[in-house]
A = this chain, B = another copy of it.
Amino acid sequence: MADNWFTEVSINNGSAFSLQVKAKLHEEQTPYQRIEIYDTTHFGKLMAIDGCILLSSHDNFLYHEMMSHPVLFTHPNPKYVVIIGGGDCGTLREVLKHSTVIKVTQIAIDERITRLAEQYFPELHEASRDPRAELWFADGIQWMSGAKPGSVDVIIVDSTYPVGSAEQAFTEQFYRDCYKALSPEGLLIQRSESPLYHLNLIKAMRDAMHAAEFSHTYTLPFPQPIYPSGWMSATMASKEIPAGDFRQQDAAYKAFETRYYNAAIHKAALANPQFMNEIFK
């Protein structure tokens, strides 16, 4: 592989994924991480964090739609939404498509991701000036520990693989803080990596969510070519409501456009492969 490829190696799984690049557009070391931005031949712009692909213009719609619409159409009337992480603002854009939403508070630690996404992925920022959106640049885990009890309808944890500071987003303590911040019908959804590569991690997340008193957990697999194995998941936890049901009519007649999500895809994402069912049962 010559210089004109960006490669992410998944060393624990003996695989690698590469994208052909035309140019490196930016590179910087922030207090938190190293950010690189490339122009690719077929995937549009590419942002990588500490050598791992965060998103591409071409396929980020899969991830951002699945981190937002399933959980928002599961809550009966989501008004107050908190996003932990999500600095590129792609998830925020999707959340703001829901007319029930009164306020979205996003707490991302590294403002540079947001500023660089504004510059290189302007389509993700179409909605960031929406008066319902409030952006904070701070430690989301700490913020959650001080959130007003019962004040949030939906929490979206749009953070990376649990290494370094992201690790705390996978602990029972964090889930307890989320549980406390949520209203009785409240729901949490979190990026939970590859069903093929990270099944033990997903199982541990679900166990920690249950230990923190969440009644129901659902893991929703979806395709994501630029992430290791090309297969991703989000795990949803519910305080009370049966999170396998959702507002099917509202999803089917939604007043906004999507490219991956629809009511049938939502229902489909609630189905798990046999090998996952056997681990989760």
Contacts from A to B (Cβ < 8 Å): 1, 5, 7, 12-20, 40-43, 59, 195-196, 221, 223-225, 229-231, 257-262, 264-265, 267-275, 277
Contacts and interface: CB of A to CB of B under 8 A. Distances in A.
Contacts of A223: 195-196, 221, 223, 229-231
What copy number does this chain have within its complex? 2
A115 B183 CA distance: 61
Nearest to A260: B273
Contact of A274 (B18, B20, B260, B275): B260
A229 B225 contact: yes
- Output the residue of A196, A224, A258, A273 with the most chain B CB within 10 A: A273
Given A265-B274, A269-B268, A41 B18 contact: no
Nearest to A224: B230
Contact of A1 (B7, B12, B225, B264): B7
A227 to B, nearest CB: 8
Contact of A15 (B20, B258, B259, B261): B20
19 contacts: A7-B18, A14-B19, A14-B42, A16-B16, A16-B17, A18-B18, A195-B223, A196-B225, A224-B230, A225-B229, A230-B231, A257-B274, A258-B274, A259-B275, A260-B274, A261-B273, A262-B277, A267-B267, A268-B270
A48 to B, nearest CB: 14
A14 B1 contact: no
A3 to B, nearest CB: 12
Nearest to A223: B231
A196 B267 CA distance: 21
A271 B265 contact: yes
A228 B29 CA distance: 32
- Output the residue of A223, A262, A265, A275 with the most chain B CB within 10 A: A223
A230 B260 CA distance: 16
A58 to B, nearest CB: 8
Nearest to A267: B271
A200 to B, nearest CB: 14
Contacts of A262: 271, 273-274, 277
B275 A260 contact: yes
